Amino acid sequence: MPTQFKDALSLIKRSEFAHPFLISSVLSSEITAVIVGFASFTSLLPAFRWVASQHRMATTSSKNARKKEVKKETGLGLTYKKDENFGEWYSEVVVNSEMIEYYDISGCYILRPWTMAIWETLEAFFDLEIKKMNVKNAYFPLFVTENVLQKEKDHIEGFAPEVAWVTKSGQSDLEIPIAIRPTSETVMYPYFSKWIRGHRDLPLKLNQWCNVVRWEFSHPTPFIRSREFLWQEGHTAFATKEEADKEVLEILELYRRIYEEYLAIPVIKGKKSELEKFAGGFYTTSVEAFIPNTGRGIQGATSHCLGQNFAKMFEIDFENEKGEKAKVWQNSWAYSTRTIGVMVMVHGDDKGLLLPPKVAAVQVIVVPVPYKDADTQAIFAACSSTVQTLQAAGFKAEHDLRENYSPGWKYSHWEMKGVPLRIEIGPKDLANNQVRVVRRDNGVKADIPVASLVEKIKDILISIQENLFNTAKQKRDASVKVVQTWDEFIAALNDKKMILAPWCDEEEVEKDVKTRTKGELGAAKTLCTPFDQPRLPEGNSNFCSSLLQSHNFNDLIDHFVSSDFFYRFICLKIFFFVFKIF
Ligand code: 87F
């Protein structure tokens, strides 16, 4: 391996502030350039401030801006294109669409109402579904003592550097520093131990909606990797493994529905490898999404069976029906505001955000188009009555009657914010008793008679939701490459693919793949064993043996004499970056 290559790798590992969204392609020969290329979050701040100031300028623009000049005059458009500079595009979209405001603490972001509306929709769905499963909401404190936090050492060990501590009140040092919860196993389980006595206390199923803090040092990114984020964390205890197993999958199915039915993002359900699972648990299942622009997989949500590990540590025992002492079986599960970041990345385009109708705070925006000499009052009245009709039918509709902005400016503004459908009402529409609708997803326009407004809007919104999912699925599916040999594997990684490869479930191979891909392109890691398994081709030359043949690792061969081969998604996770310096 060339020295500069090794150096680049160690830099990647050490670099606390490497910004991931400067990624745009796989590099193998331009290593020197890559080293230079790591941009710290701090160095990106001026860019973010610039984006924000652009946005402020936009809101004070002239009302007389002519249609064609709207973008130029108001600065409403995006500076970066999604396919050309994905990282900058993302940073710009989340700010310009009014989802995020940057904050003066790195890795912390203000979630604006446009974001919170999406979060609340997901929360309402999930909360209702878990209540049907008899899960109760509770709230445990934000703080945890060191003693309690350290109780399950194996679990906390790897995560310790990310724990944030409160050490002072006013000017005085606290007697004992107090940690801020990074997750709540250790906060909750002492009370599980107290509350669970006999089999009649089981199952105990609690959930909390809260914030957690993980003081990450690598590349903070809005929604995807932030130091404080919102999530729900479910923690449950059962008398039997069977009940725990069943719940793990029921929750995973709800996570799939959040992504596929609400956010219109296809996900793969599966089980994590031993190396990638939550170390404190028994097994981990997940839903995995894919970001075509980066060629990276992203863990969407996890549902863990914790087995009896925590029950041993926290003495969560109960008397079973036979009067014997037994340990409970536990699960924990979570999804976070990361879901929203994945949605932005998957659906957003060069006009800005693109919201699936099911999660949009505004599904239909009604814009008056009063040409010169038109009866403005009548047009405004038609806009109001359209909104009223739609709201009465249960749609999230609003009008934009501001007089200090031109229709063209409003079109760009609501397109940037990702509103799925726009209704324009002008003099001609008024005369013909119709409205003009324009879809955000494909720009298709249609004139709709006022008489059939509700049915037509309903159909179009359903069609947009479906179209977003189908388009995302087509792109995802086109990014999946089934490989049989190491050469195919490397070629697919170079091509930003998500790889489906038969694998013998041996950790050595998994680590070996990581090491070797680090040496060649970055590092590939397993995402999951998909539950939905494709059939292995006849006479399959398995991935492990072809790996070994191509690299002559004869001493390892004995490890792979196994007929138990699984397909696993393996995906490039750590990538080299194309550089951008501010
Ligand atoms: C960071 C600092 C301290 C992840 C951490 O996935 C502890 C942790 O335990 C930590 N980062 N984790 C794993 C969280 C596991 C689990 N917790 C409940 C979940 C679902 C919800």
Look up tokens 């000499």; give the residue: 373
Instruction: Compute the distance from residue 502 Cα to the ligand 1 centre, in Å.
Output: 29
Task: Quote the CA–CA distance of 434 and 426 in Å, as a whole number.
Answer: 10
Instruction: Compute the distance from residue 146 Cα to the ligand 1 centre, in Å.
Output: 16
Residue 538 pLDDT: 56
Instruction: Compute the distance from residue 426 Cα to the ligand 1 centre, in Å.
Output: 54
Q: pLDDT digit string (tens) for 81-98?
A: 999 999 999 999 999 999
Residue 326 pairs in a beta bridge with: 318
What string of DSSP letters covers 463-531? HHHHHHHHHHHHHHHHTEEE--SHHHHHHHHHTT-EEEEEE---HHHHHHHHHHHHHHTEEEEEEEEES
Tokens found for residue 527: 């995402």
Residues with CB under 6 A from ligand 1: 155-156, 159, 162-163, 182-183, 185, 214, 233, 278, 302, 304, 332-334
Q: CATH no. for residue 299?
A: 3.30.930.10
Mutate to test the pocket of ligand 1, among 183, 189, 303 (most ligand atoms within 8 A of CB): 183
Tokens found for residue 209: 């909606």
Residue 507 pLDDT: 86
Q: CATH no. for residue 545?
A: 3.30.110.30
Residues shown for the chain: 582
Together in a domain, 308 and 205: yes
Which of 296, 320, 347 is the endpoint of a domain?
347
* Cβ-based burial of 29 (10 A; exposed 0-12, middle 13-18, buried ≥19): exposed
Task: Quote the CA–CA distance of 232 and 123 in Å, as a whole number.
Answer: 8
Tokens found for residue 521: 């392109």
Mutate to test the pocket of ligand 1, among 149, 151, 159, 309 (most ligand atoms within 8 A of CB): 159
Nearest to 572 by CA among 503, 495, 488: 495
Together in a domain, 453 and 490: no
Together in a domain, 134 and 205: yes
Q: CATH no. for residue 444?
A: 3.40.50.800
Instruction: Compute the distance from residue 193 Cα to the ligand 1 centre, in Å.
Output: 20
Together in a domain, 119 and 226: yes
The answer as to whether 512 is a domain residue is: yes
Q: Is 218 in contact with 225 (CB distance < 8 Å)?
A: yes
| pTM score over 0.75 | yes
Look up tokens 């003066």; give the residue: 104
Q: How far is CA 439 from CA 164, 235, 357, 358, 427, in A?
A: 45, 42, 11, 15, 21
Instruction: Compute the distance from residue 182 Cα to the ligand 1 centre, in Å.
Output: 6
Together in a domain, 340 and 405: no
Instruction: Compute the distance from residue 254 Cα to the ligand 1 centre, in Å.
Output: 20
Task: Quote the CA–CA distance of 346 and 378 in Å, as a whole number.
Answer: 40
* 538 Cβ contact partners less than 8 Å away, ≥ 6 residues apart: none
The answer as to whether 332 is a domain residue is: yes
Together in a domain, 418 and 492: no
The answer as to whether 178 is a domain residue is: no
Together in a domain, 249 and 371: no
Give, using CA atoms, the residue closest to atom 11 of ligand 1: 159
Residue 297 pairs in a beta bridge with: 290
Helix (H, G, I), strand (E, B) or coil at 302: strand
Task: Quote the CA–CA distance of 252 and 301 in Å, as a whole number.
Answer: 8
Q: Is 23 in contact with 34 (CB distance < 8 Å)?
A: no
b/e per residue 272-302 (b: at least 16 CB within 10 A): bbeebbbbbbbbbbbbbbbbbbbbbbbbbbb
Q: Is 415 in contact with 363 (CB distance < 8 Å)?
A: no
Task: Quote the CA–CA distance of 56 and 307 in Å, as a whole number.
Answer: 52
Together in a domain, 100 and 246: yes
Tokens found for residue 442: 């494909």
Phi/psi at 510 (nearest 5 deg)?
A: -60, -45
Give, using CA atoms, the residue closest to atom 13 of ligand 1: 278
Mutate to test the pocket of ligand 1, among 142, 278, 299, 337 (most ligand atoms within 8 A of CB): 278
Do the strands 364-368 and 397-399 form a parallel or antiparallel pair, or are they unpaired? parallel
Instruction: Compute the distance from residue 253 Cα to the ligand 1 centre, in Å.
Output: 20
Q: Which atom of ligand 1 is nearest to the CA of 162?
A: 2
Q: Is 255 in contact with 339 (CB distance < 8 Å)?
A: no
The answer as to whether 357 is a domain residue is: no
| Identity of the amino acid at 189 | Y
Task: Quote the CA–CA distance of 269 and 279 in Å, as a whole number.
Answer: 19
Give, using CA atoms, the residue closest to atom 2 of ligand 1: 159
Instruction: Compute the distance from residue 4 Cα to the ligand 1 centre, in Å.
Output: 35
The answer as to whether 28 is a domain residue is: yes
* 530 Cβ contact partners less than 8 Å away, ≥ 6 residues apart: 268, 269, 270, 500, 567, 568, 569
Do the strands 165-169 and 136-137 form a parallel or antiparallel pair, or are they unpaired? unpaired
Which of 417, 442, 469 is the endpoint of a domain?
469
Instruction: Compute the distance from residue 159 Cα to the ligand 1 centre, in Å.
Output: 8
Together in a domain, 33 and 133: no
For residue 431, the surrounding DSSP H or E stretch is helix 427-432
Give, using CA atoms, the residue closest to atom 5 of ligand 1: 159
Query: Helices 241-257 and 113-132 meet at what angle, rounded to 10?
Result: 150
pLDDT in tens, the chain (582 residues): 333 222 222 222 222 222 221 112 221 221 111 111 112 222 223 333 333 333 333 333 333 334 444 444 456 799 999 999 999 999 999 999 999 999 999 999 999 999 999 999 999 999 999 999 999 999 999 999 988 888 877 777 788 999 999 999 999 999 999 999 999 999 999 999 999 999 999 999 999 999 999 999 888 999 999 999 999 999 999 999 999 999 999 999 999 999 999 999 999 999 999 999 999 999 999 999 999 999 899 999 999 999 999 999 999 999 999 999 999 999 999 999 999 999 999 999 999 999 999 999 999 999 999 988 889 999 999 999 999 999 999 999 999 999 999 999 999 999 999 999 999 999 999 999 999 999 999 999 999 999 999 999 999 999 999 999 999 999 999 999 888 788 888 888 888 889 888 777 788 888 888 888 885 555 888 899 899 876 655 555 555 544 444 443 333 333 333 334 556 666 554 333 222 222
First vs last C-alpha separation in the chain: 31
Q: Is 455 in contact with 432 (CB distance < 8 Å)?
A: no
Together in a domain, 107 and 55: no
Tokens found for residue 533: 């398994």
The answer as to whether 189 is a domain residue is: no
* 61 Cβ contact partners less than 8 Å away, ≥ 6 residues apart: 73, 74, 75, 405, 409
Number of domains in the chain: 4
* 98 Cβ contact partners less than 8 Å away, ≥ 6 residues apart: 112, 113, 114, 417
What domain range includes position 225? 86-141+196-347
Q: Which atom of ligand 1 is nearest to the CA of 284?
A: 6
Which of 300, 320, 347 is the endpoint of a domain?
347
Residue 113 pLDDT: 98
Task: Quote the CA–CA distance of 220 and 311 in Å, as a whole number.
Answer: 34
Residue 317 pLDDT: 98
Residue 270 pairs in a beta bridge with: 286, 530
Task: Quote the CA–CA distance of 540 and 217 in Å, as a whole number.
Answer: 43
Tokens found for residue 487: 């050469």
The answer as to whether 538 is a domain residue is: yes
Residue 486 pLDDT: 84
Together in a domain, 309 and 423: no
Q: Is 179 in contact with 147 (CB distance < 8 Å)?
A: no
Q: Where are the alpha helices (H) located in 348-406, listed in sequence order?
A: 376-392
Residue 580 pLDDT: 21
Instruction: Compute the distance from residue 113 Cα to the ligand 1 centre, in Å.
Output: 27
* 448 Cβ contact partners less than 8 Å away, ≥ 6 residues apart: 434, 435, 436, 437, 456, 457
Together in a domain, 535 and 405: no
Helix (H, G, I), strand (E, B) or coil at 403: coil
> Under the phi-then-psi rule, with left for phi > 0, alpha for psi from -120 to 50, and beta for the rest, what region is 131?
alpha
C-alpha angle 128/208/100, rounded to 5°? 90
Helix (H, G, I), strand (E, B) or coil at 169: strand
Task: Quote the CA–CA distance of 458 and 452 in Å, as a whole number.
Answer: 10
Task: Quote the CA–CA distance of 88 and 24 in Å, as a whole number.
Answer: 11
The answer as to whether 427 is a domain residue is: yes
Q: Which atom of ligand 1 is nearest to the CA of 155?
A: 9
